[in-house]
């Protein structure tokens, strides 16, 4: 009886769009590999998004390898079910060798070279390991959530689905990044009283001077800029995404307009004293800074249009439609009728299973274009891994092709039969 540990030349950890993209190119190179997915291929899109979720980038930017968007609305924004269908068609096309429901519990270097990969269902050895599990692993629930009354329902944005999921009454949304702003809008449109604790997220226009801002930035080659040429360099990876929406055909998200319509805005939530929520008095500054980013992006588009003599409708700087008359820093929880809190403050990565010296002191991976300092260990699918599109459908193909080219240089290949 042979109890030898199975050896796979390349093991890809994660079966989402990043892992599938790597599989697509590995198959082209004839490199034997295996994808390990602790849940199911599409679980993040199917199970961790709210019901009204849609893309914030236009459909034409969906360009997974060998699987461009081919629908009849390239400038529209796919909703949740359409996104899942698009990814399912991609998975069906790739036919990756994958084991679902298998969690990787430990990856370590072997003295004789390569890696040992322990899982919830057996162990493997591998010459190369590609980490394609993303960076959004652990929902952030702050210690501030603990002293709130047990009668208040608390959800992380990853668990929010729709307004009917929450008890009747007012809702406090904490955080104004992409998720927070869109969830606040979802509740607001449903007629719920919303209190929004605004953070430092920037915003951008949906449409400007006759086109989607994404179309302009693509024409300006912004999405081709590598992180090494960005003014912030690797620091751009820490930036909060601009809030905007593709809902109902796409529009701006203007928190000032929400306030004019009855949503109550506050600064960053800092404390709960047993009776009142306490906020930082920086709402006006946060709104002004978000609008400044909005206008600066549009100004760069203006400069591009002028430089190239492009005929386009006139543009105007954004003018605030509402200003906070005062900075309220306290809100009595019971008096405000708040029965639920949705925490929209992000996720943190968890690579505790990766026992390979590629993480920095904060537990974040170190790499250059996905290639780590340890030979044979790679990352893919992270924001600004190489370009803006690295963590999105628009840039994964380029990143996956590059990594597989690196892998192929030192990996033996043989023809692989394509799965039916």
Are 358 and 220 in a shared domain?
no
pLDDT at residue number 92:
98
Report yes or no on 296 lying in a domain: yes
Report yes or no on 2 lying in a domain: no
Are 189 and 128 in a shared domain?
no
pLDDT at residue number 3:
65
Are 181 and 108 in a shared domain?
no
Are 153 and 199 in a shared domain?
yes
pLDDT at residue number 70:
95
Structure tokens at 373: 């300092």
Give the pLDDT band of residue 238 (cuts 50, 70, 90): confident
| Sheet of strand 269-272, all strands in order from the earlier edge strand to the far edge | 269-272, 276-279, 330-332
Asked if residue 2 has pLDDT above 80, the reply is no
CA distance 215 to 222: 10
Are 299 and 314 in a shared domain?
yes
Report yes or no on 39 lying in a domain: yes
The CATH number of residue 218's host domain is: 3.50.50.60
Report yes or no on 420 lying in a domain: no
pLDDT at residue number 111:
95
pLDDT in tens, 169-228: 999 999 999 999 999 999 999 999 999 999 999 999 999 999 999 999 999 999 999 999
Report yes or no on 417 lying in a domain: no
Report yes or no on 358 lying in a domain: yes
pLDDT at residue number 45:
92
Give the pLDDT band of residue 150 (cuts 50, 70, 90): very high
Are 270 and 280 in a shared domain?
yes
pLDDT at residue number 419:
33
Give the residue from 343, 371, 390 where a domain finishes.
343
pLDDT at residue number 240:
85
Are 202 and 299 in a shared domain?
yes
Report yes or no on 301 lying in a domain: yes
pLDDT at residue number 292:
98
Are 195 and 117 in a shared domain?
no
Question: Phi first, then psi: what are they for 83, rounded to 5°?
Answer: -65, -45
pLDDT at residue number 412:
64
Total structural domains in the chain? 2
Residue 8 to residues 5, 40, 114, Cα–Cα distance (Å): 10, 21, 10
Are 338 and 374 in a shared domain?
no
- Strand-pair category, 7-13 with 122-131: parallel
Domain that holds residue 253: 139-343
Other CB atoms within a 10 A radius of the CB of residue 316 amount to 9
Question: Phi first, then psi: what are they for 293, rounded to 5°?
Answer: -65, -45
Beta strands in 66-198 (DSSP E): 67-68, 98-100, 104-109, 115-119, 122-131, 138-139, 153-156, 170-174, 194-197
pLDDT in tens, 353-411: 999 999 998 889 999 999 999 999 999 999 999 999 999 999 999 999 999 999 999 87
Give the residue from 315, 343, 371 where a domain finishes.
343
pTM, entire model:
0.94
Are 358 and 335 in a shared domain?
no
Asked if residue 1 has pLDDT above 70, the reply is no
Average pLDDT, the chain: 94
Give the residue from 343, 361, 377 where a domain finishes.
343
Report yes or no on 319 lying in a domain: yes
Q: How far is CA 324 from the centre of its chain?
A: 31
Are 175 and 250 in a shared domain?
yes
pLDDT in tens, 242-300: 999 999 999 999 999 999 999 999 999 999 999 999 999 999 999 999 999 999 999 99
Are 339 and 353 in a shared domain?
no
Task: Report whether 416 contacts 33 (CB < 8 A).
Answer: no
Nearest to 152 by CA among 337, 383, 303, 374: 337
Average pLDDT over residues 99-121: 97
Q: What is the 3-state composition of the chain as percent helix, strand, coil, each rounded to the nearest 5? A: 30, 25, 45
């Amino acid at each position: 009886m042979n109890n030898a540990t199975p050896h796979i030349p390349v093991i890809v950890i994660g079966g989402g769009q990043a892992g599938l993209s790597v599989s697509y190119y590995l198959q082209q190179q004839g490199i034997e590999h295996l994808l390990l997915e602790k849940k199911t291929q599409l679980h993040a899109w199917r199970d961790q998004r709210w019901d009204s979720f849609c893309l914030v980038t236009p459909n034409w930017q969906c360009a997974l390898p060998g699987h461009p968007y081919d629908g009849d609305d390239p400038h529209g924004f796919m909703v949740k079910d359409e996104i899942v269908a698009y990814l399912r068609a991609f998975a069906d096309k790739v036919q990756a060798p994958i084991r679902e429901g298998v969690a990787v519990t430990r990856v370590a270097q072997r003295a004789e070279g390569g890696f040992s990969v322990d899982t919830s269902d057996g162990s493997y050895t591998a010459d190369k390991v590609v980490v394609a599990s993303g960076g959004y692993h652990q929902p952030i629930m702050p210690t501030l959530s603990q002293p709130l009354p047990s009668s208040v329902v608390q959800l992380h944005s990853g668990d929010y689905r729709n307004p009917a999921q929450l008890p009747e009454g007012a809702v406090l949304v904490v955080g104004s990044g992409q998720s927070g702003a869109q969830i606040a809008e979802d509740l607001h449109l449903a007629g719920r009283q919303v209190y929004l604790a605004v953070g430092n997220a920037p915003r951008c226009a949906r449409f400007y001077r006759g086109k989607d801002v994404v179309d302009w930035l693509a024409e300006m080659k912004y999405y081709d800029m590598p992180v090494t040429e960005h003014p912030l360099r690797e620091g751009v990876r820490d930036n909060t995404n601009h809030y905007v929406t593709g809902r109902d055909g796409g529009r701006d998200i203007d928190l000032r307009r929400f306030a004019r319509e009855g949503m109550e805005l506050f600064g960053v939530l800092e404390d709960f004293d047993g009776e009142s929520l306490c906020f930082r008095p920086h709402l006006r500054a946060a709104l002004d800074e978000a609008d400044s980013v909005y206008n600066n992006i549009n100004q760069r588009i203006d400069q591009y249009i002028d430089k190239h003599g492009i005929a386009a409708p006139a543009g105007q700087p954004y003018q605030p439609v509402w200003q906070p008359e005062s900075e309220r820093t306290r809100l009595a929880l019971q008096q405000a009728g708040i029965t639920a809190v949705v925490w929209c403050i992000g996720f943190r990565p968890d690579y505790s299973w990766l026992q390979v010296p590629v993480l920095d002191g904060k537990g974040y991976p170190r790499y250059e274009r996905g290639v780590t300092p340890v030979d044979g260990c790679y990352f893919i699918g992270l924001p600004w891994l190489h370009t803006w599109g690295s963590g999105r459908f628009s840039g994964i193909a380029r990143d996956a092709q590059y990594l597989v080219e690196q892998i192929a240089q030192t990996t033996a290949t043989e023809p692989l039969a394509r799965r039916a």
